[in-house]
Amino acid sequence: MASRKRCLVLGLLAFLWAGLASEGSEKQEEETCRLLGRFDLNGYVDAQNHSLVIGGLFPIHARTIPPNESILEPVSAKCEGFNFRGFRWMKTMIHTIKEINQRKDILPSITLGYQIFDSCSTISKTMESAMVFLTGQEENKPNIRNSTGAYLAGIVGSGGSSLSIAASRILGLYFLPQVGYASTCSILSDKFQFPTYVRTVASDKFQSMAMVKLIQHFGWVWVGTIAGDDDYGKYGVKIFKEHMENANLCVAFSETIPKVYSNEKMQRAVQAVKNSTARVVVLYASDLDLHPFMLEMVHHNITHRTWIATEAWITSALLAKPEYFPYFGGSIGFAIPRSDIPGLKEFLYNVHPSRDPDDVLTIEFWQTAFNCTWPNSSVPYNVDHRVNMTGKEDRLYSMSDKLCTGQEKLEDLKNTYLDVSQLRITNNVKQAVYTLAHALDHLSRCEEGQGPFIPGNTCAYIPDFDPWQLMFYVKTVQFTTHDGKTIQIDKNGDVMGHYDILNWQLDDNGEIAFMKVGEYIFTENKFELVFTKNSTIFWNTESSQLPHSMCTDVCLPGTRKGIRQGEPICCFECIPCADGYVSEKAGQRECEPCSEDYWSNVQKSQCVLKEVEFLAYDDALGLTLAVLAVFGALVALAVMVVYVVHRRTPLVRANGWELSLLMQASLATTALSSMLFIGKPCTWSCMACQVTLALGFSLCLSCTLGKTLSLFFAYRISRSKTRLISMHPICPKIIVLLSVLVEIGICTTYLVFKPPKVYKNMESQNIKIILECDEGSLEFLCFTFGVDAFLALLCFLTAFVARRLPDNYYEGKCITFGMLVFFIVWISFVPAYLSTKGKFKVAVEIFAILASSYGLLGCMFAPKCFIILLRPERNTDEVVGGRVPTVDRSIQLTSASVSSELNNTTVSTVLDH
C-alpha cells in the first residue's frame, strides 16, 4: 500500500509536466503543448485588478478519498472530511488581505489578491497545489509565478509540517518565499534544504526543550513517547530524545501512530503504553492522527496516564470531549498564545452559499454545519471512507434528507469555525500574511542607489521583482502586531515568544476545560518555565481528586462573556466591549450600544456625553482668525478713509473713486463675514455666512469688472484704426447694480427653497459630535458662488487684455495680479477643504476668505495708497496722465487719461487716420 502511494505521488508530479512536452524540431516550432488533464483542486481566487497575489494552502478537508485500485493511471484524488478549523484559517487569510488593502501605511499604492487551495491535509494535494501555483492549469506552457494573471509574491502555508516540507521542496527551487503558520518541525529551520521557508510559529526545538524542563520540574525520569508517522512526529521526538539524554533522563518506549491505518502498528503502540511502567507519555502528533489512537485507548480502557501534549492537539476541539476525560484527563502541554483579532468574528459570520453557487467549499460548510443538503447541489455531504479499528473500510454516504433553506442562523452553531475565543494558530495565519505584506512594503520603499542588492546598491521593483529579492526582505522583516507583540524572523526563519501551559480539567458541567497553569518563555537570552501562583493541576492518577475551581471569574463591567473553543458556556473569556458599547453590570452576556449623543467611557462601563466640537472664539485658532478678520476690515476701512480724504486728487479721480469705495466696503464686509463661521453654529449663522460671503464678493468683483471694462475699452481705443464709441461712465455702475441684483435673487431663492442648517456630524469621529453647517443644496451653493467665479473670470480676462495699456500706476496689471491671487487661493482651497475634517475644515474656508480679501486689497489698493500717502509729488495730472488729445499720435494714450476723459464727457470718439 505504501509503495502504491509513493507511485501515486510520483505519478501526480509527472501528471502536469507530461502534458507540457512538445517536439523540438524546426518543422514543429509553431506547435504548442497541451494539458492532458487538470488537478482536482478547490479554493478561492481573487487576482484581477490586483498588483500582486499571495498564495495560500490550508487543510480545509481532513483527508483524500482512497483511489480506485482498478484505475492504473494517476488520478487527482477528491477530498472529504470537512475541517472547520482549516476553513477558519483560510477565511482569516482573506480577512487579513482585505484589511491590508484598506490600510494606508502598508503598501499604500498596491493591492493584494489571493489564490488559495485546499491541501486536504495530504502531501499529494499539497504537491498538486504547489505545481499549480508555479504553472497554472490553463496555459499551454509553464508560466512561472503567473498562473492567475497577476504576479505571485509568496505562499502562506501549508498547515502541518509534512505538508510544508513537501511544498517547500518545490517552491524552494524557484526561491519563492513561503511563510508557515502551523508547521513547527525543526527540520524546516535548515536553510540549506529549505532556503525560502520562514514561519510565525515557534520551532519544535523550543517545545522539546520546554517539555524536558517540564519533566525536570516535576521530577520525572521515565517517560514514553508516541509520535505521528510523519516529519512532525519523527523530528519532534528525535530532538526531544536528544534533550532528554543531555538532561540524564530516560525514554521508556518510543512508538509511532500510523497515518494510514495499520492494526499491527496501532496495537503495538497501545501495548507499549499498557505494559510500560512509565506513567508519563509524550504525544507528538496532530489531532487528526491522534484521534484513532484515543479511540483505541478508550477501547482498551487504559487509564491513569499523564499525557504531555504538543501545541498540535492540546486545544483541539476534536479531542477535548467529556467521554475521553477518564483516559486523557489531566493532560498537560504547550499551546500557542491566544489572541483576539478585531473584525474577524464579523467576517466569519459573513458567509452564505447563496452568494456564489459555484463556491463548493461554502456549500459543503453549510451542509456539514447544519446537517442538511443544499438544493440543486452536487456537493457530497458527510462522506467518510476511513478504515475503522477492525481494519475494515467504512464507506458512508449520509446524505441528509433535510434540505437547507438558507435561513439557518450561524449564531445557533457551536463549532470550531465560529469560535473565536481561542485564536491561536488563526492568529499565526494573520501574522504570516503580514510578514509577506511588510516585506513587500519594505521592498516597495527602496530608494535607488540605497538598495541592498549589488552591484550598485540597486533596488527591486513591484511587480517584476525576482523571488530571491523579496526573500531578502522576508528574512529581515520585523513588525509589531495588532496586539502589541513583536514579530522578528531570525536567521533560521524562526520566531521567539512564549507558550501557554495548559492542563485538561473537568468543569462542573462535565465538559473539558483548557486551564492555563503557566508559561514557557523563550527568547534569545531567556528560557524560563513559570507556573501561575495558586494554580491547581489535575493529575489523572488513582490518588488524584478533581480540584474545585471556577473556569472564569465573573466578567466585570465593561466586558462581556465570550465563548471559548471546545468548552461549555460557563467557561468564557471576558472580552472588552467595543467602542460605543457598554456593560454596566457584572456578568452581562452582551454589551449594549450607547445612544446617538453618547459614547462609552474608557472602562466601557457607562455611556457619557460626546464632546461637541466646533471652531470657537476661545480656541487659539478661532481667536487668531477672528483677529485677522477684524484687522482686514479695519485695513479696508482705512483705505476707504484715504480715498475719501484724497478724493479730489488726480490719482483717485482717474481711478474711479466711487467704484473704489464700493470695493473697499465690500472687502471689509467679506473679511467680517468670516467671523460668522466662528462660534457655535446655529440656523441664522449658517444662513448668513454663505450669503454674506457671496454678496460681498459679488459687489467687489462687479466693481472690479466695471473698472476692467473701462480699461478694456481704453485699450481698444488706443489700438483702434476705426471709429469706436467708448463706454459711458454710468455703464460700470449699471453693471455693478445688475450683478448684485442677480446675486441677491439667487441667494434669496437659495434661502427660501434649500436653506443651510445645523448638522451634527458623527461620522468623522465616533467620540465627538462635530457641529457644522449643512449647505442644504449643493447645486444652489455652486450656482451662488458660480456667479462670483464668472465675474472674477471676466475681470481677469479684460484686465489681462488691457495690462499693456501705458499708465504710470499700472491699473490693469494691479487688477490682473489681484485676480490671479483670487484664483490661486480658491483653486488651492478646494482640495484642502475636502481633505480636512471638523473645525479645521471651517478654518480652511476662513483662511481662503481672508487670503483672497487681503490679496485683492493688497494688489489693487496698496500701490495707490503708497503714492497717495508717501509719494504725493507723483499724484499730479502730469504724472498720472491727465487729459491729452487722443488724436495726437505722438502722445501715448494712458488708462488714466481715458478714465479722466470718460469722467468729464458723456461720449468721446477716437479718430485714427
Q: Contact 678/625 with Cβ under 8 angstroms? A: yes
CA–CA dist 207, 287 (Å, integer): 17
Predicted pLDDT of residue 51: 86
Which of 406, 413, 403 has the alpha carbon at shortest distance from 349? 413
Q: Give pLDDT, residue 879.
A: 67
Q: Is the pLDDT of residue 818 over 90?
A: no
Across 138-147, 382-391, 529-538, the highest mean pLDDT is recorded for 529-538
Residue 758 is placed in which grid cell? 445645523
What are residue 601's phi and psi, to 5 degrees?
-80, 180
User: Does 883 score more than 50 pLDDT?
Assistant: no
Per-residue model confidence (pLDDT) at position 764: 67
pLDDT value of residue 415: 81
Longest dimension (CA), the chain: 131
What element of type H or E holds 205?
Answer: helix 204-218
pLDDT at 803 over 70: no
Cβ proximity of 148 and 112 under 8 Å: no
pTM, to two decimals: 0.57
Ranges 299-313, 363-377, 453-467, 753-767: which has the least confidence: 753-767
How do beta strands 52-58 and 112-118 pair? parallel
Written as nine digits, the cell of 302 is: 487504559
Whether residue 807 is predicted with pLDDT greater than 60 in this model: the reply is no
What angle is formed at CA 360 by the lines to CA 359 and CA 365, rounded to 5 degrees?
105
Concatenate the DSSP letters of all residues of 408-452 into one string.
Answer: --GGG--STTT--TT-SHHHHHHHHHHHHHHHHHHHHTPPTTS-S
User: What dotted CATH number matches 204-335+498-531?
Assistant: 3.40.50.2300
Q: What are the backbone angles phi and psi of residue 273, rounded to the nearest 5°? A: -70, -40
- Which amino acid is residue 544, in one-letter code? S
- Which pLDDT score is estimated for 804? 60
Give me the pLDDT at residue 49, please: 85
- For residue 200, give the nearest of 490, 602, 561 by alpha carbon: 490
Q: Which fold has domain 43-66+76-202+359-488?
A: Rossmann fold (3.40.50)
Distances (CA, A) of 397 to 288, 374, 857: 21, 15, 88
Paired with 117 in beta bridges are 43, 57
Q: Greater confidence, 723 or 313?
A: 313
Residue with the larger pLDDT of the pair 114 and 545: 114
List, for residues 195-240, the tens digit of each pLDDT value. 999 999 999 889 999 999 998 888 888 888 999 988 889 999 999 9
Please give the residue that has the higher pLDDT: either 137 or 193. Answer: 193
Distance separating alpha carbons of residues 387 and 384, to the nearest angstrom: 9
Q: Tell whether the model's pLDDT for residue 840 goes beyond 60.
A: yes
Question: 442 versus 569: which is more confidently predicted?
Answer: 442
Helix (H) or strand (E) holding 123: helix 123-135
pLDDT surpasses 70 at 566: no
Has residue 892 got a pLDDT over 60? Answer: no
Distance, CA of 469 to CA of 690 (rounded, Å): 57
Alpha carbon distance 519, 528 (integer Å): 8
Count Cα atoms within 13 angstroms, Cβ side, for 839: 20
pLDDT above 60 (res 824): yes
* C-alpha cell belonging to residue 761: 456630524
Lowest mean pLDDT among 64-78, 506-520, 718-732, 806-820: 718-732
Looking at per-residue confidence, does 582 or 683 come out higher? 582
Average pLDDT, the chain: 79
CATH superfamily of the domain spanning 620-870: Rhodopsin 7-helix transmembrane proteins (1.20.1070.10)
pLDDT of 34 reads 63
Distance CA 42, CA 35 (A): 19
For the ranges 120-129, 293-302, 390-399, 507-516, the lowest mean pLDDT is seen at 390-399
* 836 pLDDT tier (thresholds 50, 70, 90): confident
Whole-number Å distance between alpha carbons of 352 and 404 = 11
Instruction: Name, in order, each residue with C-beta under 8 angstroms of 809's C-beta and a sequence gap of 6 or more.
Output: 651, 655, 863, 864, 867, 880, 896
C-alpha cell belonging to residue 447: 530608494
pLDDT for position 713: 60
Q: What is the mean pLDDT of residues 571-595?
A: 83
Query: Model confidence at 429, in pLDDT bands (50, 70, 90)?
Result: very high
Give residue 808's pLDDT.
46
Residue 112: predicted pLDDT? 94
> Is a pLDDT exceeding 70 seen at residue 886?
no
C-alpha cell at 332: 498537560
Strand ranges inside 336-391, DSSP E? 383-384
Reduce the DSSP state of residue 817 to 3 states and report it: helix
Query: Are β-strands 197-199 and 178-180 bridged in parallel, bridged antiparallel, or unpaired?
Result: parallel
pLDDT per residue over 81-129, tens digit each?
Answer: 898 989 999 999 999 999 999 999 999 989 999 999 999 999 999 999 9
Confidence check: pLDDT of 727 > 60? no
User: Is the pLDDT higher at 396 or at 39?
Assistant: 39
For residue 24, what pLDDT band results from cuts at 50, 70 and 90? very low
Q: 319: closest CA among 302, 348, 337, 298? A: 298
pLDDT value, residue 213: 93
pLDDT at residue 849, rounded to an integer? 83
Whether 776 shows a pLDDT value over 60: the answer reads: yes
